[in-house]
Amino acid sequence: MRHNGKHPHSHPQQQQQHYNWKSDDERRTRSVTASIQGSTNNNSVGNFTHENTPTGSHEDYSLGLCGYILLFLSYALICLTFPFSLTVCLKVVQEYERAVMFRLGRILGGAKGPGLFIIVPCVDAYTKVDLRTVTFDVPPQEILTKDSVTVAVDAVVYFRVFDPVISITNVEDAPKSTQLLAATSLRNVLGTKSLQEILSDRESIAQTMQAALDEGTECWGVRVERVEVKDVRLPVQLQRAMAAEAEAAREARAKVIAAEGEQKASRALKDAADVIMQSPTALQLRYLQTLTTIASEKNSTIVFPIPIELMQAAIGKFHTT
């Protein structure tokens, strides 16, 4: 039996997670390439110095004479205070964290972790970055829609860091910057929509916002995973006007339905009258059936209708006399 390299019982969630990390690697590669191209365009080949090298390349730099002296003294201090120095040198990062290390202010390799890693006191510094998905609420934004209606809209955004090094070196505070960009994108996107589109087409609005945010935060090492529009609050006067409009529309439909019912009933009565005219006995039978229906309801008063023909004959005799 041949083995195809895949576990027969691999879970779909693991495959999806592997796909997400693969897409994160592609994003990281694009970010580094963009940084390199930007630096190349802004600086000539002869003036491409160490300060213009992109932070995403993670190259090792020369520390210089003073740097090597400080590094040697730090190693000597570690050896003299061993094993007590291990409490300062050994650091731990969790599975969902990464550590970005700086040696004398410069990035030392890529992100460290998860697990144990070693730092050199007085020379190295590190910053922990959380890779878990972060959720925040976009504050309600007063927006003027395309049809000149003022509404208050709020949303929720889900994002996570896919490149710890870029999120530290390219932006001061990646979560706060993402929140401010989300509020601005919400106003920009909804400003091009009418009120009817905002109320009925939230899914496409969320997708448009996600694409705009993802494009803006990619250079910060942040991936926007999902955007949802939570609530759309209308002014009280507009709510009353819309309620009155809906009520008037319902009343108009009810009147049309009632008129159609009356028309159908009148046609049915006309057909019944034509049938009764062909047989006078049918009218008498209908009259007796009506009396039976009235008597079954235990009414104390029964009204007997007088045929109009008798009234006309009586009135004719009265006029002749």
Pairwise pLDDT comparison (190 vs 298), residue with the higher score: 190
**pLDDT for res 9:** 41
Lowest-pLDDT choice from 5-9, 136-140, 231-235, 289-293: 5-9
Encode pLDDT of 230-252 as tens digits.
Answer: 888 887 777 777 778 888 888 88
- DSSP states along 128-188: EEE-S-EEEEEEEEEEE-TTS-EEEEEEEEEEEES-HHHHHHS-S-HHHHHHHHHHHHHHH
The amino acid present at 226, given as its one-letter code, is: R
For the chain, what percent of residues have pLDDT higher than 90?
6
Q: Rounded distance, CA 143 to CA 229, Å?
A: 14
**pLDDT for res 321:** 66
Q: Per-residue confidence at 31, pLDDT binned at 50, 70, 90?
A: low
Encode pLDDT of 102-150 as tens digits.
Answer: 888 888 888 888 888 888 888 888 899 999 999 998 888 888 888 888 8
Q: Per-residue confidence at 158, pLDDT binned at 50, 70, 90?
A: very high
Q: Per-residue confidence at 159, pLDDT binned at 50, 70, 90?
A: very high
Q: Per-residue confidence at 257, pLDDT binned at 50, 70, 90?
A: very high
What's the pTM value of the predicted model, to 2 decimals?
0.58
pLDDT above 60: residue 74:
yes
The per-residue b/e assignment along 19-57, b for 16 or more CB within 10 angstroms, e otherwise, is eeeeebeebbeebbeebeeeeeeeeeeeeeeeeeebebe
First to last CA, the chain: 122
